[in-house]
Structure 1
Amino acid sequence: MSSVEFIAHIRASDGAEQRLVDHLKEVQALAEEIGQKIGLPHVTGLAGMLHDMGKFSHAFQEYIREAAANPENPPKRGSVDHSTAGGKFLLEHFHQGDPITFILTESVANAIFTHHGQLLDMVDVEGQSPFMKRWAADKDISFLQVEQRFLEYMYDLDYMQRYVQKAITELRIYFGNRLKNVKTASEATSIMQKLTSYLTMYVFSALIDADRRNSCDFEKSGGKLHYNSQELWSAFEQRLNNELVEKQRSALPNAITRLREQMSRTCLEKATLSTGIYTLSMPTGGGKTLASLRFALRHAQLHQKKRIIFIVPFTTIIEQNAQEIRDVLQAEDFVLEHHSNVIEESEPREDLSFEEYQTARKLNAAKDDWDIPIIFTTMVQFLETFYSGRSRSIRRLHNLANSILIFDEIQAVPIHCVSLFNEALNFLKNTCQTTSILCTATQPALQYVRHNIKIDGELMENLPSIVEAFQRTTLKPLLKDKGWSTEALYGFIQERLKTANNILVILNTKRAVKDLFEEFHNGDIEIVHLSTGMCPAHRKQKLKEMREKLRKQEKFVCISTQLIEAGVDISFDCVIRSLSGLDSIAQAAGRCNRHGEVALRDVYVINHAEESLSKLPTIKKGGECANYIMKDLQQDPTLFGGYLLSTASMTHYFKNFYQLFESKLNYPIPVLQTTIYELLFRVDTDWNKDYLKGQGRQNPLAILASFRTAFSHFEVIDAKTQGILVPYGEGEELITQLTSREPITDYSLFLKKAQQYSVNVFKHEFEALKQNNQLIVVHFGSLTIYAAKDAAYDEQYGISTQGEAQLTDFIV
């Protein structure tokens, strides 16, 4: 056979064939481009050129032609292994010599072996090596034929040796730059292990994205968004400056307004700082979204950064901030929101028809790779990019390189992910030339934990004086020995309404919120209920109604879970917060007298007796830590500058808080008696030692990480959630479109709309909805979409697991 007869893909629309040699060389070029961002073009290029080497087999060529000829009855997908050959070739020829060469061949081979799945464990917790087993596979003569064809039609062995040597040289520089000032062997080993694990993830990301992009370009003849980032940043900065001038002109002429403008100007001045990790400790209501964007746009121009990514803990912040940025920058086509999990991804079924498979591919393609200038996403999506192991997530990893990451409300990093988060930021800064800005009014002490980050500076000057000048509230602890009942709290709110026109009440559980809401229901006070049980579009409508009430100075009470605390620009006369962490109390206070309408307003902290916090340990322990500080201040009012929410008080709080959860910071896996941190970054574990003493003597490995095991146990949220499309507003039309099997012509647009009309529910809620027959299940090939029936969604409460909801015209 000639090289022309070996093909990689057959286009479904017209039967056109993509030559295998073309695919391999094009993926190699794309992978080299991705690797160049961190100085490793030949390392990633090696993965690109070898990944589909196995398609040179007669078996694969027969398989792909049969699949195209018989779309209704194709051969079983994946029945011909085309992923082992490239990694095997690399290992057989080059896995020898010094540790750097071992690391190169192992990391690239792992990516090649698994580019249609998840990275393999190099060594698992049983002391076995799934990686070595994969290497040993395919010992029949077909491998020799594949190898011969690759060397004949692609590159000869001399070329490969020169290419591999260039990759080795790049890796020597990669490790050498990070080990320059290391003083001990143990520290060097630790750094090497971390760098090696992240190297493997980066190569995997580069290969997946290069392969998918080339395949997609062949199928769809392009479609990638093209833009000149420097020209874009300059235009955006001018539009932002115009907006800031208008805001300053229309704002209240008081001290708060002047302070906001000063802090924004400071962010602009600090944009000249070098790439690094910085804190931006602006008080709540300080305008950190636009101030951080001001820093980012100038910093991106000065340091040639490729994209700006806002990473937030809650989708409620995305909903508000992304639209604000689109409007300010006039950048509808250049701002991406990515936070939906309304579609559940599962392993492809064996019985897929060709049409179902193509539909599934279109839906998969609608999940973006983050190759766009400005992105709004969640902390969940960010951490999953590194640690979920799913190809769809890790594909985006390389696009974090040479970027600016703005973490909003950084104190919300999940406690069990703290060490993993810190190590990811260290890698992005030191290897990927990525600048990170940690934004919040309540800076966590991430630099004080064991596996910490090095903060390169604080963007705000004279921070204690800024915090003091920004005081707009008086914190009043009202903690009872036996706590507040719902009835007593209702009476207290009624009393406060005599002097306050509007009140915000924030409680820790949905149950407590609902009970208090029902306590008010028969009274003559207007009430608004907010909950994560409502879809984003529903919450937006509620917030819009509340802002109108505040503008008209109507009397009402809002009862909410903590979702209103962060990123929601709204201001109440009085706030009542159930006892929680000091950071949450500070965020709640930020919803009171937000714009300095008067000198001071009251924020009350109460302990709710009827909240069940047994499954919310961070809220419970955080409340205890906050209570200790409040008691200390009562005994000595001069402590922490005499202010509960001072910078000194917050640092003291987080040091104590992280100390209480020290055993949780590395993401423990109790069933394995280890942690994800150890699985990925440590070399002195029992199972590694077992391997080194046994199999490792005959089959030595430089990389010992348990990638697949670590990824299989990783969940950002302790209790996994499932997205459900709900029948609210346009959500009804989307559900009808799905159930009637109307064709979806634009999958990206469909998913974008679905984000606004979906609710994330916990496993027990999901099971209750299924048991009560309140779900509609729609299959798209390997993908599943869940939709709620009409009776499962309520205008007052949102999703109802009992299926007793009634969509009414209830007016708040």
Structure 2
Amino acid sequence: MRKMKKEFIAHIRTSDGAEQLLVDHLKEVQHIAEEIGEKIGLKHVTGLAGMLHDMGKFSDAFQNYIREAVANPDDPPKRGSVDHSTAGGKFLIEQSQPINSASQILVECVANVIFSHHGQLLDMVDKEGQSPFMGRATSEKEFDFVAVQQRFFQEMYNLTYMTDYMKQAEAEMQTYLESKLKSVKTNGEAAIAIQKATSFVTMYIFSALIDADRRNSRAFEEQEEITHFEVQPLWQTFEQRLNQDLENKQQDALPNEITRLRKQMSANCFDKAAVPTGIYTLSIPTGGGKTLASLRFALRHAQFHQKQRIIYIVPYTTIIEQNAQEVREVLQAEDYLLEHHSNLIEDSEHHENLSFNAYQAARRLNAAKDNWDVPILFTTMVQFLETFYSGKSRNSRRLHNLANSIVIFDEVQSVPTHCVSLFNEALNFLTHTCNTTGVLCTATQPALQHVQHNIDIDGEIIENLPTIIQAFKRTEIISMLKTEGWRTEEIREFIGETLTARNNVLIILNTKKAVRDLYDQFKYADFYVVHLSTGMCPAHRKEKLEVMREKLKKKEKFVCISTQLIEAGVDISFECVIRSLAGLDSIAQAAGRCNRNGEVDLQDVYVINHAEESLSKLPTIKKGGEGSRYIMKDLQDNSALFGGYLLSTEAMTHYFYDFFRAFDTTLNYPLNNTSIYDLLFSVDTDWNKSYIKGAGRKHPLATLASYKTAFSHFEVIDAKTQGILVPYGEGKNLISQLTGREPIYDYKVFLKKAQQYSVNVFKHDFEALKTNNLLIIVQFGSFNIYAAKESGYDDQFGISVQGEASLDLLNI
């Protein structure tokens, strides 16, 4: 009797019990990974990871495990109890015979990715001078490795195919590494260049494998085809719509100098779009229309260089909605534009302890998260940096979609100081390896080319910039600094005096407490007073901004008291602005909210020093304020300095040069006795020396990065935040859906809506909300979504950690 061939499976679909053959999964993931790798000339490198990643599923142990999990859903075997991710890396190491550094680097990078594709990249070397990577590679796992190899050769590819494929991968890696050595002059420089190159390429391979694996698994589970949109025709269509919109706006605009300059700068962006892929500055003055001007450059540049997507990186979640909506309306691009900025979901990378049903719930919610595979994306600086350095697979899988793109960094001066070196290296990798154009878009360029680990600027897009900056001057910056500083009562009185001659005043302070305290001073004011802070959800802030715009049109008396959130990208124009002392870039951004459209020749922007602001935990704001104070004094002493203008390019460059020099020791993201920069990109560290002298004698390594350690310490902001869904407006209905009172039919749509009604809170506020029983917690497997109760959100101030929400509609 003929023996039936055993079928090796990778997945079993939950809806109908259909089986995905392992050989199909491996080859399909290989194909997707090859497409991703081809973007940077590493098709066979990423393909190697794809074909080997689930090799361990050829074991009897795994085949028994997966069938048992489906057969007994109420009492399945523990998730992760059978290791299937070691075999592929082990196979690669044993099959290869490294003959040069490129072949050894290839093996180490790809094997680490395979070992780690259900978690985080392993440390090549750890603080003990050991190698977790080699520990994994040499461990004796509980499966028949010989049988696994035999089945792979029988079912997948023969030895000849594998040998040829690996030679092609080695050749690609050799070419990649040689490209990084063209400009080095010493052996020391070469070693550093190779270390950077291997760290970033490992991240890219990891991204390729994670995304390819998840896309294929989801396509099988959801019974959907993986489709690719043809993006190039979109760029031409979008460009036509944008140009028509700009023409209409220019016809409707006031025929003044500001309008003429905006038109001129927009034309510059259009004309310069043929420049080669590189890093460019776009230094449009505040209020100059940089969102649409930069989009005009990007759309035409994408056509010239066949780019795949346009990505806007903005500093805060608070301005994503406005900028994205502006672009969406102009381009009529609802289906092609994604806003990604919510951390509403608190989740875990590990699901080993979940029941079968809980795991399926987690998968449904996870499927609602996007991998950035859209033509136009708006996201935050936090999300951008976490894509490289968080080490979490949900972030890392997006990295490859930054390749062959145009990345526009709006308000790039907001890169956190401790992340400057990491930001620069990521941008260098994107430009020099991934064929990506970076646009540093801000009126206050932060001089990132003048730090130790710098970037090279290929040019400025705007012509005659000094002349334009001077012509765009719409405000007079007036220093009103006092030796003892301004008390809150004095600021209130000064605002009252200012309103006698003006209809409206904006005052920007550095802390939420200072804003709240000053707001309380106007409790009995006979004019409208509005409070803005990040404690309010986007929909709440948007409504308040619309109310203020109406009052501006009607020239009604009112005061807006805000944190610095209003400075970046909010299109609103006040007759007078008062700014609490901060960095020169912040003063410039505040000035951009005054006389924005050149309604009159000049309006006043006053700079004060608030005596009651506590900046002890805000060292960059404190130091920035000191730098601004020095430059203002220099100009008072010599009016010819910096072109005679506080906000000139010369003044801004001088400010940032001194600012970065003051924080020189923190730019590399310092840790105890080391830094994240050194853990990822340096060769000569104490950890590496310890390994080389000890365990490295038996197992020498070509790559030495401490990925897992570095990623475990990385946070873009000093304190982690958690998204909270709040009961404001439509948010109440969303909370009802979340708690099961109404069904959720589409998780992706739900999460998109929820972003407008969520607030990111710091850990201490989050703990206070929990302690005061002000949170509703809803679980989806290992995922948690948090919602505030009615008493936890105030219609004046937003999140209320003490449960004192009045929901008072006065002064709203």
> Which TM bucket (shorter chain)?
over 0.9
Give 5+ residue unaligned stretches, structure 2.
Answer: none
Q: 1:293: which partner in 2?
A: 295
Q: What's the secondary structure of 1:505's corresponding residue?
A: strand
Instruction: For residue 576 of structure 1, report the CA deviation from its aligned partner.
Output: 0.1
* Aligned counterparts of 1:228 and 1:147: Cα–Cα separation in 2: 40
Higher mean C-alpha deviation, range 384-393 or range 740-749: 740-749
Q: How does 1:202-221 map to 2 (within 5 A)?
A: 202-221=204-223
* Aligned counterparts of 2:403 and 2:569: Cα–Cα separation in 1: 26
Q: How high is the TM-score relative to the length of structure 1?
A: 0.99
Shift of the 624–66 alpha-carbon distance from structure 1 to 2, 3 Å rule, reads same
For 1:575, give the aligned amino acid: V
Instruction: For residue 224 of structure 1, report the CA deviation from its aligned partner.
Output: 4.7
CA contact (8 A) 1:343 1:785 kept: yes
Q: 1:377: which partner in 2?
A: 379
Q: 1:473: which partner in 2?
A: 475
Matched residues, number: 810
* Aligned counterparts of 1:415 and 1:11: Cα–Cα separation in 2: 47
Structure 1 residue aligned with 2:321, among 310, 319, 322?
A: 319
* Aligned counterparts of 1:526 and 1:542: Cα–Cα separation in 2: 11
* Aligned counterparts of 2:229 and 2:580: Cα–Cα separation in 1: 48
Determine whether 1:691 maps to 2:674: no
Q: 2:436: which partner in 1?
A: 434
CA displacement 1:567-604 (0-9 Å, x = unmatched): 00000000000000000000000000000000000000
Shift of the 15–406 alpha-carbon distance from structure 1 to 2, 3 Å rule, reads same
CA contact (8 A) 2:519 2:561 kept: yes
* Aligned counterparts of 2:353 and 2:347: Cα–Cα separation in 1: 16
Runs of 4+ with deviation above 4 angstroms? 1-4
Cα RMSD, aligned residues only: 1.1
Instruction: For residue 223 of structure 1, report the CA deviation from its aligned partner.
Output: 5.7
Instruction: For residue 173 of structure 1, report the CA deviation from its aligned partner.
Output: 0.9
For 2:794, give the aligned amino acid: D
* Aligned counterparts of 1:811 and 1:590: Cα–Cα separation in 2: 26
* Aligned counterparts of 1:317 and 1:8: Cα–Cα separation in 2: 43
Shift of the 348–188 alpha-carbon distance from structure 1 to 2, 3 Å rule, reads closer
Instruction: For residue 443 of structure 1, report the CA deviation from its aligned partner.
Output: 0.2
* Aligned counterparts of 1:8 and 1:745: Cα–Cα separation in 2: 29
Q: What's the secondary structure of 1:164's corresponding residue?
A: helix
Instruction: For residue 226 of structure 1, report the CA deviation from its aligned partner.
Output: 3.6
Q: What's the secondary structure of 2:449's corresponding residue?
A: coil
Q: 2:778: which partner in 1?
A: 778
Q: 2:403: which partner in 1?
A: 401
* Aligned counterparts of 2:143 and 2:8: Cα–Cα separation in 1: 18
Q: How high is the TM-score relative to the length of structure 2?
A: 0.99
Instruction: For residue 73 of structure 1, report the CA deviation from its aligned partner.
Output: 1.8
* Aligned counterparts of 1:681 and 1:604: Cα–Cα separation in 2: 44
* Aligned counterparts of 1:689 and 1:151: Cα–Cα separation in 2: 40
For 2:736, give the aligned amino acid: T
* Aligned counterparts of 1:457 and 1:287: Cα–Cα separation in 2: 20
CA contact (8 A) 2:475 2:603 kept: yes
Determine whether 1:676 maps to 2:679: no
Q: How does 1:643-658 map to 2 (within 5 A)?
A: 643-658=645-660
CA contact (8 A) 2:538 2:758 kept: yes
Q: How does 1:270-419 map to 2 (within 5 A)?
A: 270-348=272-350, 350-419=352-421
Instruction: For residue 3 of structure 1, report the CA deviation from its aligned partner.
Output: 6.4
CA displacement 1:44-94 (0-9 Å, x = unmatched): 000000000000001100110011112222110000000000000000111
Q: What's the secondary structure of 1:785's corresponding residue?
A: strand
Determine whether 1:566 maps to 2:541: no
For 2:579, give the aligned amino acid: R
For 1:799, give the aligned amino acid: I
Q: 2:11: which partner in 1?
A: 9
Q: 2:465: which partner in 1?
A: 463
Q: 1:607: which partner in 2?
A: 609
CA contact (8 A) 1:622 1:657 kept: yes
CA contact (8 A) 1:95 1:105 kept: no
CA displacement 1:152-210 (0-9 Å, x = unmatched): 11111221111100001111111112212322111111111100000100000000001
* Aligned counterparts of 2:332 and 2:184: Cα–Cα separation in 1: 47
CA contact (8 A) 1:3 1:21 kept: no
Q: What's the secondary structure of 2:10's corresponding residue?
A: strand
CA displacement 1:653-697 (0-9 Å, x = unmatched): 000000000000000113xx1100000001101110110111111
* Aligned counterparts of 1:96 and 1:795: Cα–Cα separation in 2: 65
Shift of the 2–594 alpha-carbon distance from structure 1 to 2, 3 Å rule, reads farther
Q: How does 1:718-729 map to 2 (within 5 A)?
A: 718-729=718-729
CA contact (8 A) 1:3 1:153 kept: no
Q: How does 1:161-240 map to 2 (within 5 A)?
A: 161-222=163-224, 224=226, 226-240=228-242
Determine whether 1:510 maps to 2:515: no
* Aligned counterparts of 2:742 and 2:66: Cα–Cα separation in 1: 30
CA contact (8 A) 2:203 2:396 kept: yes
For 1:705, give the aligned amino acid: A
Instruction: For residue 352 of structure 1, report the CA deviation from its aligned partner.
Output: 2.3
* Aligned counterparts of 1:2 and 1:458: Cα–Cα separation in 2: 68
Instruction: For residue 740 of structure 1, report the CA deviation from its aligned partner.
Output: 2.7
Q: 1:769: which partner in 2?
A: 769
Structure 1 residue aligned with 2:668, among 658, 666, 669?
A: 666
* Aligned counterparts of 2:493 and 2:182: Cα–Cα separation in 1: 65
Determine whether 1:124 maps to 2:126: yes
* Aligned counterparts of 2:696 and 2:352: Cα–Cα separation in 1: 37
Give 5+ residue unaligned stretches, structure 1.
Answer: none
* Aligned counterparts of 2:667 and 2:122: Cα–Cα separation in 1: 25
Determine whether 1:146 maps to 2:157: no
* Aligned counterparts of 1:526 and 1:29: Cα–Cα separation in 2: 61
